[in-house]
Amino acid sequence: MAYIGLFSMGLFVGCVVMLGFSRRRDNFLAPGVTVLGATLAAVMIVFLDQIGGVAADHKSVFMYPIGLITAMPWCHIQSIFAWKNRFARYGCILGTTILTLAALALALSPQVRAAVQ
């Protein structure tokens, strides 16, 4: 359960960070909130480690950056559908889907995690 929890936290923070960076940057507020959100997410992992929670075994922590990486293309999926080159568009959508399925297999299946290690 720790794997899916840290993966979900990575997805959430990744979406917040990507949406913060996709907004206008003419003021300090959008990038500042983005960096603050990423920092608070890292603090959450350290907090869980200190209280001996889900990250205490240090085996599930790798799911957090995988969640961050998985969230990035999904935040820009609307702009991917607007691409003119259909091979690039479908290739990116297919790659994003494969990445998401692989990440979910890592998060949900102990057999997949054992095979990767």
Radius of gyration from C-alpha coordinates of the chain: 16
What pLDDT is attached to residue 7?
Answer: 82
The CA–CA distances, whole Å, from 103 to 59, 69, 106 equal 15, 10, 5
pLDDT digit string, tens, across residues 6-41: 788 888 888 877 777 666 666 666 666 667 776 766
What pLDDT is attached to residue 51?
Answer: 60
pLDDT digit string, tens, across residues 97-113: 898 898 888 888 888 87
Domain residue spans of the chain = 2-116
What pLDDT is attached to residue 55?
Answer: 47
Q: What is the pTM of this model?
A: 0.69
**How many residues would you count in the chain?**
117
Return the closest-CA partner of residue 31 out of 15, 43, 14, 18. 18
At 70, give phi and psi (nearest 5°): -70, -35
Q: How far apart are CA 62 and CA 46, in angstroms?
A: 13
pLDDT digit string, tens, across residues 37-84: 767 666 766 666 666 655 455 677 778 788 888 888 888 787 788 888
